[in-house]
Amino acid sequence: MLLSLIILGASAYPAISSAADAFSAASPWMFGDWGGTRSQLKQEGVDFQVNYTMESASNLAGGYHTATTARYSDQWGFGVNLDLQKLLNWNDAEFQMTITNRDGKNLSDQIGDPRTGMLSSVQEVYGRGQTWRLTQFWLRKGFFDHMLDVKAGRLTVAEDFDTIDSKFQNLAFGNGQAGNWRGDHWYNWPVSQWGGRVKLNITPEVFMQVGFYNQNPYNYDRGDGFRLEFSPTVGNLVPVELGWTPKLGADNLPGNYRLGYYYSSANDNVYGSWRNAGYHDTAHAYGGYLVAQQQLTSWHGSVNRGLTLTVQAVMNDHKTSKTDNYQAIALTWKGPFDARPEDEIGVGAARIHVNSSYTRMLRDENHFYGVNSYNSPTYLPVQSGAEYDYEVYYNVQATRWLQVRPNLQLVTAPGAVSRVKNAFVGGLSANINF
């Protein structure tokens, strides 16, 4: 309903002047430029951000609950960025604060066996507690003509590490995949933690960075979005990343290549040590990831339109991680039609594999408790092999401040449980900048 009213509003007010351009299709903000005040504030170093993301999904066929079911989830974001060079004459420095709120329900709970859930999610904006959070509260400072860049405060890991551009609704194609498959230590948006990041820009195109992020249960518990204690600390996450952001060919086609490794000092149970109703060994988590995102073509020399290929991969340790490896490939086409140069088409496929040690632990636990029937409420469904996720979307750039994306998704072996039927999902997402 909200989205319908906004679209009607956008079409009803196409020609409001730039000084009072609320609902104008040419404005980057739905509520306009506040009579020019907003642009003036931004030029002076104060940039306000208010945005809304919604994702709805309907189970058209298959899944654990085969009846057609629809779910809606959303996120509000309220932020401000301060350019401290403009405001305080503090060279190459900025401050960012963002508060978020997530709400709604997740269709993936209906698609996967409720005892296991899906491995991915058909609504990526859902998750990490439907609650208010202080998502960003950090200070960034550049040194030596931006050769060295330091950032510290309340951070989300994937705003700096394992970062890509993505409009997919399925979680398996978005940003920070290393955190999606090691989410007990690597916290993506909107969960923040105390930490810092040091980045060395070796050349304008090549960089190396290392991060340090404190880990405690308050980072992700529902209702604890504004608890900022360091204690109880369970460990620290340390990611290291080498990046390359080239502009290739005569058209300077942009690329984003990242090779990373992470280590967590927190103690985790070793799945292979499960015997007699308990674990008998612990270990530290570690893993690596790869990102390759490259625009392949342009249109009449313009990089604003063309094809982009994205490849992602994650490898996790076999001792402590439920999912030991992940791969995804996606192709997006910006400006597929001359009449719609800002629209975009995307198609992707992803594979999420369950660690064989975790599979063996599930079987051993069922055997120990004498539970052999899948229909028993105490049975642990055996997750074995991989879940596969596929998505195709069309992104409509309705106005500069409104994007609407219908999509279709296919989930095979949801949760990597062979007894669960493949699911066919229809989705609709939207992004609104106020």
Phi, psi (deg, nearest 5) at residue 232? -85, 120
The answer to whether residue 321 scores a pLDDT higher than 50 is yes
State mean pLDDT over 391-412: 97
pLDDT digits (tens, 9 = 90+) for 124-133: 999 887 889 9
Of the pLDDT bands very low, low, confident and very high (cuts 50, 70, 90), residue 1 is: very low
Report pLDDT for 222.
Answer: 65
Residue 8 CA to residue 25 CA, distance in Å, equals 12
Q: Is the pLDDT reported for residue 336 higher than 70?
A: yes
Confidence category of residue 18, pLDDT binned at 50, 70, 90: very low
Task: Tell me what the mean pLDDT of segment 316-337 comes to.
Answer: 96
- pTM for the complete prediction? 0.92
What pLDDT does 140 receive? 98
Does residue 378 have a pLDDT over 60? yes
Alpha helices (runs of H) in 307-381, residue ranges in sequence order:
356-368
- State the pLDDT at residue 425: 97
Residues above pLDDT 90, as percent of the chain: 86
Task: Return the beta strands (E) in 247-363 as ranges.
Answer: 247-248, 253-269, 282-295, 306-316, 323-334, 344-354
Q: Stretch 136-154: mean pLDDT, rounded?
A: 97
pLDDT at 2: 45
Q: Give the amino acid at 264.
A: S
Average pLDDT of span 5-18: 41
Share the mean pLDDT of the chain. 92
Is pLDDT at 242 greater than 80 in this prediction? Answer: yes
Q: Is the pLDDT of residue 6 over 70?
A: no
pLDDT per residue as tens digits for the range 64-114: 998 878 999 999 999 999 999 999 999 999 999 999 999 999 999 999 999
Contact criterion met (CB below 8 Å) for 370 and 346: no
The residues, ordered by sequence, that sit 6+ positions from 200 with a Cβ below 8 Å of its Cβ are 147, 148, 149, 207, 208, 209
